[in-house]
Amino acid sequence: MAAWKILRDFSYRRVISSTLGRSRHCFSSSSSSSSSSAAYAAPKIPHFSKRGRLLTGATTLGLVIATGAYVSTVDEATFCGWLFSATKLVNPFFALLDAEVAHTLAVSAAARGWVPREKRPDPAILGLEVWGRKFSNPLGLAAGFDKNAEAVEGLLGLGFGFVEVGSVTPVPQEGNPKPRIFRLRQEGAIINRCGFNSEGIVAVAKRLGAQHGKRKLDETSRTSSSPNDEVKAGGKAGPGILGVNIGKNKTSEDAAADYVQGVHTLSQYADYLVINVSSPNTPGLRMLQGRKQLKDLVKKVQAARDEMQWGEEGPPPLLVKIAPDLSKEDLEDIAAVAVALRLDGLIISNTTISRPDPVSKNPVAKETGGLSGKPLLSLSNNILKEMYLLTRGKIPLIGCGGISSGEDAYRKIRAGATLVQLYTAFAYGGPALIPQIKAELAECLERDGFKSIIEAVGADYR
């Protein structure tokens, strides 16, 4: 079946390209075709002889048959592996582009389905249940990549166990002036000072609503065509878990009102919600991590969530994302609030304003903004360890910062993370990195005798 689907898609694209190829110079995009046709006359189409058309058609048909015959000898898993490996060929092209342009193109490609789709099942050892939701694997994509929820389906299709969109602000805002994203390629790091650039909750809610309906319909179709009593991994709308990260507007004087508005508008589409109080690029935001400020904020957001009507599954879990640049006293305050208010989880951590070696020696290190990537691994792991001990393992923690391999993910899990997220390494390594990290993580667990992710959580401190 896989071979015939590929053959069918190839044939369809060939026919379409042949039909549209002659007039492709007449169009700039679907949105501008009408204005373009009024301004420009269609070019003359060269005449091909009947014999020439027959030869072209025969060549195309032969290529299609040969491709189909070859693909039919390859199993779906092997072919899927080839597709993911092939994405490495594109990485050098993206490296030549401006960092933000490359990021925009990557999101657009995922939104249009121009990325491979993972067909292979995850290793059983990676499956786990958190907040009553089944995750096929603990590897997620951190907020910041798909800020406006443009590519949820494409990103989940890459094989992430969960994808977090945002941060989303109530009112649309441009963010900080460009350039605002800087690569430190040799160090495997990025400095950004985007400043919550967002299309706003109305645009994101509309997009999530449409995607939610489509994913729900697809899941219903799959379930009815292949009934199975087994509970599959996934969230409200089907396979994959969706997190929504909420932020405040830069000029807002009432932070709590911003977060409450985000909850009221977006929580119906979220499998979990995140209060982002740790970005270093919004003035005054990190002050919300103080004990009194955080306690007041979480209470108001929890109340806003709980006053909404929920079905049997209940409201989405509420998490807080914290910074890595916190003192021991700060961590103790946050842990106390989290335990007292029964917070559903913490994400540790956001980017750092520090410049640890070897980043400090790079001229780009002088740029203001948050640092992410490999140099953040040790710092974020230390904060993760402290918070796991302070909360006594009672609160699920998501480890984020510096992951670029299965071993890195495993270290975070042993330090107390139940789930992990990556971003910077994905920006550099592309889709091929995802199955690689999952395979390496499974090997690490089996090597040390663990039968599941849950068994390994916090193993270094118990």
What torsion do the CA atoms of 391, 392, 395, 397 make, to the nearest 10 degrees? 80
Give the DSSP H/E element, type plus range, for residue 346: strand 345-348
Is-contact 80 119, C-beta < 8 A? yes
Is-contact 141 426, C-beta < 8 A? yes
Q: How far apart are CA 179 and CA 48, in angstroms?
A: 49
* Tokens standing for residue 69: 């015959």
**Cα-flanking dihedrals φ and ψ of residue 304, to 5°?**
-65, -40
**Helix boundaries (H) for 136-189:** 152-157
Is-contact 112 387, C-beta < 8 A? no
279 catalytic? Reply is yes
Is-contact 247 273, C-beta < 8 A? no
Q: How far apart are CA 398 and CA 459, in angstroms?
A: 15
Q: Choose, from 136, 198, 267, 279, the residue flagged as catalytic.
A: 279
189-192 and 370-373 as β-strands: parallel, antiparallel, unpaired? antiparallel
**Helix boundaries (H) for 307-375:** 328-340
Q: How far apart are CA 208 and CA 189, in angstroms?
A: 30
Q: Which residues are catalytic?
A: 279
